Each structure stands twice: as structure tokens, then as C-alpha cells.
Amino acid sequence: MIERLIITADTPLLEAMRRIDEAGLEVALVCGPGRRLLSVITDGDLRRAILAGKPLSTPVNEIGNPRFTSLPPTATRADAVRLMLGRTFKCVPVVDDAGVVVDLHTLHGALREQHCASWAVIMAGGKGERLGELTQAIPKPMLPVGDRPILEHLVHLLVGHGVQRIFLSVGYLGQMIEDHFRDGTRFRCRIDYLREDVPLGTGGALSLIRETPTAPLLVMNGDLVTAVNLTRMLAFHQQGAHAATIALRDHVVKVPFGVVDTTAGRITALREKPMLSYAINAGIYAIEPRLLARIPGDRLYPITELFDDCLKRGESLGGYHLDETWNDIGLPEEYARVGAGSGGIR
């Protein structure tokens, strides 16, 4: 496929049009010697050139875009899918440190190869009251980070890891969410809605799923800005034969005072302003389908109650430590920090 897209800088517009039409990916790659990528030309670039009166013999180096988007060889297929979905690209070139084209990700191919049997549920029904005025007219998951809502970033993340069926649990201003995502076709997945007439909590909303999954169910809070590797997390869950797996994030607390350890009134140790590290619940879970039958559908039911029940039954709970970008949008200052940096999602 990639060879069909490569043209030289002196290729005339007419030949570039033919190449783009044959490949069906709406782009051609303008390369120099050794397949070094010089610019990218799109069908839109061609149309604009023709409308501007450029003759069809014009070499493409006059209209190609040298500020193209590409990915490094270290990028995963999931990274590529998220980028292509976010930018509505059909493909993206992979370029090494020397500027040489070494591969090409296509959206169609990546989605086909990345298929995941798991379904996912995103909890998007909360009011986000701690965010004050920010959520008076918009549900928290629809707050923008970069050029799209938090929730859209999460949908792209899931689709990037091959998840093709997603449930959105909606409540507060839920119609705004439904109007944006509809049936999911635009996002290359199927989206269904779990409508909470009364708040059911993170666990209780799962009782609204009327079908039984055949693979571990992914559950995520809808206010997360993260690049967690869900494929790796699911593999960890299944290899450990866990009833459920909780994604964990290291959180460090700096005590601003000197700490004194005592035993029976005697000082045993002094520690000056120690750093304490805790593993915190990151709000991302993998759950075996059989657990859904235990969830009551008539009351507020935090998902942690389900995990406590697993522990009481002697069932294994996995703790998956994630190292990727992770931010929980709970307070205005947290949203401001993440929004200013576009969340570090890509």
C-alpha cells in the first residue's frame, strides 16, 4: 500500500490525482531519495490548487504540506487509531528519526486488526458538583480538553484498543451526550445508553445492561483524561484469572512536618517531611461477566461494594499499575491544569 502513495517532488498534479484516487486514502506522500518524507499532499490540496488556476502540469512540491502529521516507529496501533479518529484521517505515515517513511497505518486496517471482544461502559451520569459553574450547563464528561470533550477522548481510546461496543451511562444532562455521540457510527463503534432515572452509582448502573458479555467488561469513569494501555490491562486481568481487576496509580503525599514514631511513650524514629506513596484507585476496571448478576438494580451501589463482595468470597482481585498519562477531573484547578496542556493524551 505504501508504495502506491509515494510520489516524487516533480510529479505533476494530474499524476498525483490519479495516485490518490487509486489508493482511496485521500493522500499522497512526497518523498525524496531514500524515501525521505518531504511533504504530504491531500485531495483537498489538489482541489484548492486547481481552483486557484494551477495547471495540471504543476509539480506537487509547489503545493504539498511540509508540516505534515506523522507517528514515530514506537507508536502503537492504538495510538495511530486515536490520532486518525481525532483528525478524521484515513491513514498516517510512520517516520523514523532520519525522516524516512518506514510504515503506514490505515484506519480500516488498524480497526480490523485491533478487534477486542470486550465491551466497555463509561460512567457519564454524574453532576460534577465540585466543578461549580463549569458544569451548570454541561455534564462534566462533555467538558472540552483540547478540541473535543473528555468523553470523546475516552471513546477514541477504547476504539483504538479494538473495543467496538460501548455503553454510556447517562443521567445529568444526558441528552447532550446522546445528541453528540448518537449510535457511535461516526466514531467507528456501536454506542448504547444506560439511562439512570435515579442515581445508581458506578456499580448499580451496570445492572441496566440487558445482555450478558462474553468477555471481560471494561468499566471507566467518564471524567478521566488518560492514555492507559487497555490491551495490556486486559491481558493482565486474563492471565491472572482475576474476578475483577482495578487499575492503580501511584500517588505521593508530602507531609509538610517532621514525623515522629513512638512506642509506649518513647520516640523510636524521626523523619523530616517524609514522602508517602499510596496506590490509588484509578477508576478503570475489568470485570468478569458473571459478576454482573450480583449487582442490585434498585439502589445506589458503588462498584467498590462489588469488589468487597469478591474479597469476602475469596475471589482474586487484580491490581494493575498504570504508568501512562492519567488525570482525574474532579476540581476546577485540576481541569484547568489538564486543559492547559490538552491532557497529554497524545
Q: How many CB atoms lie within 10 A of CB 4?
A: 15
| Per-residue pLDDT tens over the stretch 295-322 | 998 899 999 999 999 999 999 999 999 9
pLDDT band at 114 (very low <50, low <70, confident <90, very high): confident
Angle, alpha carbons 163-169-161 (nearest 5°) = 15
**pLDDT reading at 148 higher than 50:** yes
Q: Give the pLDDT of residue 278.
A: 93
Instruction: Tell me the angle at which helices 150-160 and 77-87 cross, rounded to the nearest 10 degrees.
Output: 140
Q: Give the pLDDT of residue 309.
A: 97
Q: What is the grid cell recorded at 293?
A: 448478576
Q: Give the pLDDT of residue 184.
A: 96
pLDDT band at 103 (very low <50, low <70, confident <90, very high): very high
Nearest Cα to 162, choosing from 199, 226, 111, 87? 111
| Per-residue pLDDT tens over the stretch 45-55 | 999 999 999 99
The predicted model gives 88-95 an average pLDDT of 93
Higher pLDDT among residues 343 and 304, named by residue:
304
pLDDT band at 339 (very low <50, low <70, confident <90, very high): low
Q: CB–CB of 151/166 below 8 Å?
A: no
- DSSP annotation string for 169-238: EE-TTHHHHHHHHTTSGGGTSEEEEEE-SS--HHHHGGGG--S--SSPEEEEETTEEE---HHHHHHHHH
Question: What 3-state DSSP class applies to 51?
Answer: helix
**Distance in angstroms (rounded) separating the CA atoms of residues 101 and 94:** 6
**Distance in angstroms (rounded) separating the CA atoms of residues 323 and 162:** 20
pTM over 0.85: no
Whole-number Cα distances in Å, 6 to 48, 63, 94, 124, 148: 21, 15, 13, 44, 32
Q: Give the pLDDT of residue 12.
A: 94
Distance of CA 113 to the CA centre of its chain: 18
**pLDDT reading at 336 higher than 90:** no
**Distance in angstroms (rounded) separating the CA atoms of residues 80 and 54:** 34
Nearest Cα to 138, choosing from 222, 65, 252, 26? 222
Q: What is the grid cell recorded at 269?
A: 524514629
Torsion of CA 199, 145, 135, 173, to 10 degrees: -50
pLDDT band at 340 (very low <50, low <70, confident <90, very high): low
Higher pLDDT among residues 344 and 225, named by residue:
225
Hey, what amino acid is at 287? I
- The domains found in the chain, sorted by start residue, are 2-112 (3.10.580.10), 115-344 (3.90.550.10)
| Per-residue pLDDT tens over the stretch 149-199 | 999 999 999 999 999 999 999 998 999 999 999 999 999 999 999 998 888
Higher pLDDT among residues 332 and 90, named by residue:
90
Whole-number Cα distances in Å, 273 to 149, 268, 304: 39, 16, 32
The predicted model gives 258-275 an average pLDDT of 94
Q: Give the pLDDT of residue 346.
A: 41
pLDDT band at 146 (very low <50, low <70, confident <90, very high): confident
Higher pLDDT among residues 106 and 339, named by residue:
106
**pLDDT reading at 113 higher than 90:** no
Q: What percent of the chain shows pLDDT beyond 70? A: 97
Strand partners of residue 338: none
Q: Give the pLDDT of residue 109.
A: 85
**Distance in angstroms (rounded) separating the CA atoms of residues 142 and 124:** 9
The predicted model gives 142-151 an average pLDDT of 91
Q: Give the pLDDT of residue 298.
A: 84
**pLDDT reading at 15 higher than 90:** yes
- Average pLDDT in the chain: 91
